[in-house]
Structure 1
Amino acid sequence: MLTPRKIYWPAINLVGPGSVRFVAEEVAKLNLKKALLVTDKVLNENGVVKQITDALDEGGIVYSIFDEVKPNPTTTNVHDGLAVFQKEGCDFIITVGGGSPQDTGSAIGILATNGGRIADYEGVGKSKNKSVPIVAISTTAGTAAEVTINYVITDEARKLKMIMVDPNALPVIAVNDPELMMKKPKGLTAATGLDALTHSIEGYTAKGSFELSDAIAHKSIELIGRYIERAVENGSDLEARSGMGWGSFIAGLCYSNAGLGIVHSMAHQLGGEYDLPHGVANAMLLPFVMEFNMDACPDKFAEIARALGVDTSAATSVEEAAQMAITEVRRISRAVGIPSLRESAFRVEDVEKLAKQALKDACTAANPKPVTKQDIIAIYMKAYEDEAGAAVTQ
């Protein structure tokens, strides 16, 4: 409580069923001319984007659409999007989707006001100027990129995910409307849900955690534990979708201000090297990193177990209660169909390279205990040798 804090989140947050209908009203207050709507082809073709553009049309908001974003967005995506932004005379950005469109929009926005190449901004606080205004509309309860100061872009040449931590990239309006998340496939719901759980657990245990981040992380863990299996089982369950939407949203507020840890450092390498979906990569690694970190803050891990709904009253020590959190995360992962690392494209011969890169990742510094390259190698290998994973539910 005696340490001063800078706390970042969007100025306006629209959350809950039907909240997307307020977007045009809020955008009109910003006195902007034309948006670049950044999304992907799937969302543009399946009608999700139309739900947003109908609201924009009704509110008289002018826009052009860029739908070339890849699942793990690349430097090419970013620079192509910037070219469209400039050609169309846009002065703000609307992002529609999960983490990929959100991150791409953040990168385009930073380049529009700072110039250069996106690789120039890898690291912490590298830009000088605020991004053009960004209205970030989430369609998955997972990355929470719509409320954070972080964005991730893949450098195709290096097969490396570049991590940018930059308050200048923070959206001005964030939207989490669970009606946009209805009927998402089970596999996507599971992966993004475990991504959100990773955010809340890593944010709760990160070195940078503090009173506010702890409080909201705890609530996020509780909500995700309560609703993730329901949301995966029935994509039309609006209560479960709403619970996951809130859980993801507040997890983002937590980790954006508290930091993350080596689950993300290691998962970023799996995404960069093998194009593995980010949420799946996090989920594969989460229980093994929890096991590594547990002795740094066993009280918090015991509280994670309780937040997940586990009865720890029979535990004879705080360590035993903490272990229950890991057991429950593994149970949830299996229940929603997360595969094991062995079932992915991971290659044992790459582990030295992946560990070396993970050690340098921007998320590593916030891990609750020090970590070496050999530690990371050991965690990758323990996850690889585990046989408890299950095939992803389609």
Structure 2
Amino acid sequence: MASILLPRILEIGAGTLARLPEVLTTLQSRRPLIVTDRMMVELGYVDRVREVLAPLDIQVEVFADTVPEPTASSITAGVERVREGDYDALIALGGGSPIDSAKAIAVMGRHGGDIRDYAFPRQVNEPALPIIAVPTTAGTGSEATRFTIIADDHSDEKLLCVGASFMPVAALVDFELTLSLPARTTADTGIDAMTHAMEAYVSRKANPYSDQQALAAMRLIGPNLRRAYHDGQDREAREGMMLGATLAGVAFCNSSVALVHGMSRPIGAFFHVPHGLSNAMLLPAVTGYSIPSAGPRYADCARALGFAAATDGDDDANRKLLDALVSINQELQVPTPADFGIDRDHFFQVRHTMAEQALASGSPGNNPRVPDAAEIVTLYESLWA
């Protein structure tokens, strides 16, 4: 049995940003707050939203102080802004970090408290301010998920928050907003989306619905990831990646992520590695560790991604999958932890803490091969091999 959760309104395709006035009218919103970051302001995205909303003749204010890899302190000003204002919706504009920030702001602005009050295993289902997500990257799928990730400033732990309260009411998935993304962001967010689809498919919580979304996502991401990285103006590749990322979000929202994400969050929290990049660092090693417990499933991933032929047996397909994951990291110039600038001694000093935090998130328990803390430590160490 599966319980499916989706945005109430999901607009997909070129130019769907223009549907924003109609969406606000449907939601009877007259005073939305745009939640975004400084880069979206500087690049003109906020002005584009304002231009689209001009015919509605409504007052649109902006909170542009979200940060990459959001923390409890980084969203405090946004929470206070919502609690002091009379906003009736949030327009979450940007990549995963602004959208994740908006989700937490929508809940805490309505209900107060500390972010730890909302952390997993609590299921947060209280009514919150409605969110209209406008993603500008093809990666997190946050526009279609009931999750948000916010770091605790004091412990450097990334907290997973789960529940219907964090699901956007509407999402406008317009691939044209990704055409100017730099190659590095394209790579990191694209591998993040691929990881979502793979983990949703091999997860112990996978179900027939999530399987179909995950396979469809992989069929879009596999042939388009490299193309979008090498040519950001490739509209066909950008469209494939954007739809693939959203479908991957739908897939893992309705199953779960697994060990890669569980191990990725502590790396991001301790060393400020962007989420998609830390996923990319981990994906080959964790996939190799996990294949023995879900060989047929990983082989399906290899075929859906186009890394193996339909006629390949499972062993051959999985060998090609591992080769392809390593090759993609090389081609897309994914740095190792050392190349990123992480201090090896510090990494090894905190590896046991990271392993405990990974387990506490719950995600490793969804993996087809469930590790203990010692095995996670070994996987962390393998990143330096």
Rounded to whole Å, the distance in 2 between the matches of 1:37 and 1:307 is 37
- 1:127: Cα distance to partner? 3.1
Could you say what secondary structure the match of 1:293 adopts? helix
- 1:73: Cα distance to partner? 0.7
Pick aligned residue for 2:326 from 330, 334, 341: 330
Pick aligned residue for 1:70 from 67, 70, 73: 67
Pick aligned residue for 1:156 from 153, 166, 180: 153
- Residues 231 and 240, structure 1, Cα contact 8 Å, conserved in 2: yes
- Residues 308 and 328, structure 1, Cα contact 8 Å, conserved in 2: no
Could you say what secondary structure the match of 1:221 adopts? helix
Number of the residue aligned with 1:358: 358
Rounded to whole Å, the distance in 2 between the matches of 1:282 and 1:196 is 10
- Residues 145 and 252, structure 1, Cα contact 8 Å, conserved in 2: yes
Amino acid at match of 1:138: P
Amino acid at match of 1:213: S
Rounded to whole Å, the distance in 2 between the matches of 1:28 and 1:269 is 41
Matched, 1:382 2:382: yes
- Residues 124 and 162, structure 2, Cα contact 8 Å, conserved in 1: no
Number of the residue aligned with 2:163: 166
Alignment of 1:256-267 (within 5 A): 256-267=253-264
Could you say what secondary structure the match of 2:75 adopts? helix
- Residues 83 and 110, structure 2, Cα contact 8 Å, conserved in 1: no
Number of the residue aligned with 1:389: none
Rounded to whole Å, the distance in 1 between the matches of 2:318 and 2:289 is 12
- Residues 147 and 171, structure 1, Cα contact 8 Å, conserved in 2: yes
Rounded to whole Å, the distance in 2 between the matches of 1:310 and 1:357 is 33
Going from structure 1 to structure 2, the CA distance change for 1:67 and 1:296 (only over 3 Å counts) comes to same
- Residues 38 and 96, structure 1, Cα contact 8 Å, conserved in 2: yes
- Residues 131 and 168, structure 1, Cα contact 8 Å, conserved in 2: yes
Could you say what secondary structure the match of 2:172 adopts? strand
Going from structure 1 to structure 2, the CA distance change for 1:237 and 1:221 (only over 3 Å counts) comes to same
- Residues 100 and 148, structure 2, Cα contact 8 Å, conserved in 1: yes
- 1:310: Cα distance to partner? 2.8
Pick aligned residue for 2:302 from 302, 305, 321: 305
Rounded to whole Å, the distance in 2 between the matches of 1:301 and 1:144 is 21
Amino acid at match of 2:212: A
Number of the residue aligned with 1:208: 205
Number of the residue aligned with 1:388: none
- 1:23: Cα distance to partner? 1.1
Pick aligned residue for 1:11 from 8, 26, 30: 8
Question: What are the Cα deviations for residues 328-353 of structure 1, in whole angstroms up to 9, with x where unaligned?
Answer: 12212211111123323152222111
Pick aligned residue for 1:29 from 26, 29, 41: 26
Structure 2 gaps of 5+ residues are none
Could you say what secondary structure the match of 2:101 adopts? helix
Going from structure 1 to structure 2, the CA distance change for 1:261 and 1:252 (only over 3 Å counts) comes to same
- 1:88: Cα distance to partner? 3.0
Matched, 1:233 2:230: yes
Number of the residue aligned with 2:335: 339
Rounded to whole Å, the distance in 1 between the matches of 2:46 and 2:5 is 28
- Larger CA deviation: 329-338 vs 149-158: 329-338
- Larger CA deviation: 355-364 vs 174-183: 355-364
Number of the residue aligned with 2:134: 137
- 1:278: Cα distance to partner? 0.3
- Residues 2 and 207, structure 2, Cα contact 8 Å, conserved in 1: no
Amino acid at match of 2:353: K
- Residues 56 and 62, structure 1, Cα contact 8 Å, conserved in 2: no
Rounded to whole Å, the distance in 1 between the matches of 2:222 and 2:272 is 28
Number of the residue aligned with 2:85: 88
Pick aligned residue for 2:177 from 170, 175, 180: 180
- Residues 40 and 67, structure 1, Cα contact 8 Å, conserved in 2: yes
Could you say what secondary structure the match of 2:328 adopts? helix
- 1:276: Cα distance to partner? 0.7
- Residues 202 and 261, structure 1, Cα contact 8 Å, conserved in 2: yes
- Larger CA deviation: 112-121 vs 256-265: 112-121
Rounded to whole Å, the distance in 2 between the matches of 1:243 and 1:313 is 21
Rounded to whole Å, the distance in 1 between the matches of 2:140 and 2:310 is 33
- 1:113: Cα distance to partner? 2.6
Amino acid at match of 1:363: S
- 1:312: Cα distance to partner? 4.1
- Residues 125 and 164, structure 2, Cα contact 8 Å, conserved in 1: no
Rounded to whole Å, the distance in 2 between the matches of 1:37 and 1:313 is 46
Rounded to whole Å, the distance in 1 between the matches of 2:21 and 2:137 is 21
Number of the residue aligned with 2:349: 349
Give TM-score scaled by structure 2 length.
Answer: 0.96
- Residues 7 and 168, structure 2, Cα contact 8 Å, conserved in 1: yes
Percent identity at matched positions? 31
Give TM-score scaled by structure 1 length.
Answer: 0.93
Rounded to whole Å, the distance in 2 between the matches of 1:313 and 1:195 is 25
- Residues 37 and 64, structure 2, Cα contact 8 Å, conserved in 1: yes
Question: What are the Cα deviations for residues 256-289 of structure 1, in whole angstroms up to 9, with x where unaligned?
Answer: 0110101001110011111110000000001111
Rounded to whole Å, the distance in 2 between the matches of 1:319 and 1:265 is 26
- 1:128: Cα distance to partner? 5.0
Number of the residue aligned with 1:318: 314
Rounded to whole Å, the distance in 1 between the matches of 2:165 and 2:333 is 37
Matched, 1:55 2:52: yes
Structure 1 gaps of 5+ residues are 386-394
C-alpha RMSD over aligned residues: 1.5
- Larger CA deviation: 67-76 vs 320-329: 320-329
Rounded to whole Å, the distance in 1 between the matches of 2:123 and 2:59 is 31
Question: What are the Cα deviations for residues 146-166 of structure 1, in whole angstroms up to 9, with x where unaligned?
Answer: 110000001111111111011
Alignment of 1:192-207 (within 5 A): 192-207=189-204
